[in-house]
Amino acid sequence: MHDEYAHIKSQDKEIYDAIVGEQTREAEGLELIPSENYVSKAVREANSSELTNKYSEGYPGKRYYGGQFYTDIVENIARDRAKQLFNCKFANVQPLSGAPANVALYFALLEPGDTVLGMDLSHGGHLTHGHPVTYLTKIFKFVRYKMKNPDTGEIDYDEMLKVAKEHKPKIVLAGYSAYPRELDYTRMSSIAKEVGAYAVMDVAHIAGLIAGKAMKNPFDYGFDVLTTTTHKTLRGPRGGMILTRESEDIGKKIDKSVFPGFQGGPHMNNIAAKAIAFGEALHPSFKTYAAQILKNAKAMEKVFKDAGIRLIAGGTDSHLLLADVFGSLNIPGKEAEIVLDEVGITLNKNAIADDKRGPMDPSGIRFGTPAITTRKFSEKECARVAELMIETLKNKDDVTKKKAIREEIRTMCKQFSIPEVFV
């Protein structure tokens, strides 16, 4: 099982033991964190390839160092596949992750002091969309929109338009990290146009669902730019990407912002891994995978609803769910995360809309289906996982019950092992 790490084992036993421990943890437990997934063996091989040795500042055909024949091939393939997946004209595949992609995007399109209208973190947004703890708020002004009703997930688009007219943002930013519904891209795009702003979507969580045609593509509704991670539902290596629908001017600004404006040499091993993952996402089987993610999330939604547990936004249109376990079961999110981890179910504590508890011990838990769908779980298995989650939380102090649940999960994991080949 661990022969692939023979050199690490002989050279650095402590690191080897940690890697093998993580390998075992992933194999014997269920990964429900909606921003995590498993990658193919081909993606992992690319990430550890000789391309890690190469400095490649610049872009294909315009590098600052020599010896770029093969790196140019790799990056061009990655860009071409990304453009095909998302139906756009320009792609920058160099951002090291999602947050750097967002920062580079801001510096490409904004001047210091300019305004961004983004989703409030407490209603499902992301730190890089303007939370006060980030340095971005020292440079740009952020104003926020929220859900009109946290029990239905409806966004208050009338209020969004009102705020946009008042503050005149340069960017109207869609996207989220803990919001489970489809957005009204037509409405958001029209709001951006009405105030002369760029329409931008951070699709980090749902990029794979868009690429797999399971959810709408904001580019089809007039959006100018998409930022994203390449892991999560896209099932690639940890990294970022910025996509431009059709404006060459915007594409050039983004390229200059990523390099030399914000980053140095790109990680070519990671870009090769991105290219391979994009190739996997272009395969017909990926559409089946993306569609199954949504079916599985709906199966889990039904179990939680039937058990009377409150779901923020009333359920899900995507891969993730957000449950108010404190309000429904009187269990804080932090405790729920720990208790579920004990039986081999990994998810994360998460604040809910207008949460009265603090962010390190909030009222909710966030979970989703990308990784277990990669393991070939269907609706039946996902419904059972949801049942086991609720059983565990309701019997959190019952050691015997939790042991039985842990064994059932181990059995399930053996039956649905983590695949290494996706196409």
Catalytic residue flag (residue 324): no
For tokens 């949504």, what's the residue? 294
Helices (H) and strands (E) in the chain, counts: 16, 16
On whether the CB atoms of residues 364 and 322 are closer than 8 A, the answer is yes
Catalytic residue among 31, 75, 202, 317: 202
- Residue pair 335/105 in contact (Cβ under 8 Å)? The answer is no
Q: What backbone torsions phi and psi does residue 117 show, to the nearest 5 degrees?
A: -105, 110
Catalytic residue among 134, 228, 229, 392: 229
16 is catalytic: no
Tokens of 49: 């390839």
Give the E-state strand segments of 245-282 in sequence order: none
- DSSP reduced 3-state for 34: coil
Q: Which of 181, 232, 366, 402 is catalytic?
A: 232
Q: What is the DSSP secondary structure assignment for residue 113, as one 8-state letter? A: T
Strand residue runs (E) in 120-197: 141-145, 147-149, 154-155, 171-175
Backbone angles phi, psi at 114, to 5 degrees: -70, 160
Dihedral of CA 384/389/391/397: which sign?
positive
Residue 229 catalytic?
A: yes
55 in catalytic set:
yes
Judge whether 3 counts as a catalytic residue: no
* Active-site annotation holds for 232: yes
- The burial class, CB within 10 Å (0-12 / 13-18 / 19+), for 231 is buried
Comparing C-alpha atoms, which of 210, 205, 202 is closest to residue 117? 202
Catalytic position from the list 44, 216, 238, 375: 238
Considering 36, 57, 114, 182, which one is annotated as catalytic?
57
End-to-end CA, the chain: 22
Q: Write b or e for each residue in 340-350: b if 16 or more Cβ atoms lie within 10 A of its Cβ, otherwise e.
A: beebbbbbbbb
What gap in Å lies between CA 396 and CA 393, rounded to an integer?
A: 5
Catalytic positions, written as ranges: 55, 57, 202, 229, 232, 238
